[in-house]
Structure formats: C-alpha cells, structure tokens
Amino acid sequence: MRLMMLFVALAAVFGAGGLAGAQDRMPPIPADKLTEPQKKAIEEFKAARSADISGPFVAMLRSPEVMSRARAMGDYLRFRSSLPPRLSELVILLTARRWTQQYEWNAHAPLAVKGGLNPDIVKAIAEGRRPERMAEDEDIVYSLFDEIQRHQAVSDGTYGRAVAKFGEQGVVDVMGIAGYYTMLAMVMNTARTPLPDGAKPALAPLAK
C-alpha cells in the first residue's frame, strides 16, 4: 500500500516523459516559420483526419515526411485494422503504460472504454497489473504484447492461440499497433509533449 501511495505521489511529479512543468521541447511551430514541406504535411493531415495536428504530430512536424508517413500508417492501424476497437485500444493502452506516456493514455483510455473494454481492465493496466477476468481474445492480445515486450519473442503456445483467433493478419496488426504507438510514445517522451490543458497525469511510474 505504501509503495502504491508513493507511485501515486510520483505521478503528480512526473509528466509525459519528464518532470511535470518541464518545458515542451518541441512546441507548435509558428505559422510564419513553417517550411513548404511542413505546410504540405499539415494540409495532408487535415485532409486525412479532418482535424488539426496535435500530440505527437506537433513534434514530428520537424521531419514532415516522417509525420506524413506515420499519419498514413496510423490511418490504417488506428481506424481500419483487422482488430475491433476494443482490442486495438487495449494494445494502445498497454503501450502507453509501458512507456508511461501520459498524453497517449489520456487520449485513449476513454476511447478504450467507449470501444467496449471493461473499465476494470483499464484500471489494472494503469496500475501495472495483469487484468483479471479478461475475455479470451483480450487475454490473447495481452499475452502477445507482454511476451514480445518482456522476452523479445512469442512462445509457440501464444502464437498458436493468436493465429487461431485472429489469423496471421491479426497477429501482424497487433504488432503493428504496438510498434506504431511505441514510436509515438518515444517521440512524445523525447519532446516532453504536454498534456492538454486541464488534464492530469494518470500513470504513476512503474517499479523497476
């Protein structure tokens, strides 16, 4: 209990990828400072997403081709993959938890619940615990993610269960989502991307 209280206290100190209140290393670029490739990347983003750039894309705009290619990959992995939203959001939350990425968690925890993920599962992941009473497909996705992250490999048993449930495409999509959101987490932790105004860090640092 004392250890958990310590983690909660530390969560108030640590923000997205750094100390709370630490300066955003890659804030929005003023409009009069944008290069032509950056302007084009923004236009393509708005056309594809019907929204302004935010979060990791603000930082990635420093490399506009990386931003555009990442956005295109995300268009599939987030919105059109072979996994239902409940499972794709599960992978995203697991990634955000592993990287203690506050912005990513803040954006996707509500989407996970909206997509059908049990709030108790979300709470367990936030606390760094393997959730209890997961559905079969959730348990398989969790095991896939957990094994590849902890062992850099997937056991035959877990792989066989995953292929039987999701097919080979589903297995690749799980890894694709994990890899994509890992990249976004790395970018935001490096850039110290701040949470939206009014949002508070939800993730305490994980025990080493």
Instruction: List, for the chain, all residue ranges whose pLDDT scores fall below the cut of 70.
Output: 1-21
* DSSP classification of residue 117: -
From the centroid of its chain, how far is CA 54?
A: 14
Supply the CATH classification number for the domain 85-191. 1.20.1290.10
Report pLDDT for 21: 56
Helix ranges (DSSP H) in the chain: 2-13, 36-49, 56-60, 64-79, 85-98, 102-114, 119-126, 136-151, 156-191
β-strand partners of 14: 19
CA torsion 75→80→84→89, rounded to 10°? -10
- Reported pTM: 0.89
Q: Is 97 helix (H, G, I), strand (E, B) or coil?
A: helix
Cα distance between residue 180 and residue 113, in whole Å: 21
Domain residue limits, the chain: 25-80, 85-191
β-strand partners of 19: 14
Q: Are residues 181 and 172 in contact, defined by beta-carbon separation less than 8 angstroms?
A: no
Report pLDDT for 19: 45
Q: Which two tokens stand for residue 147?
A: 């094994």
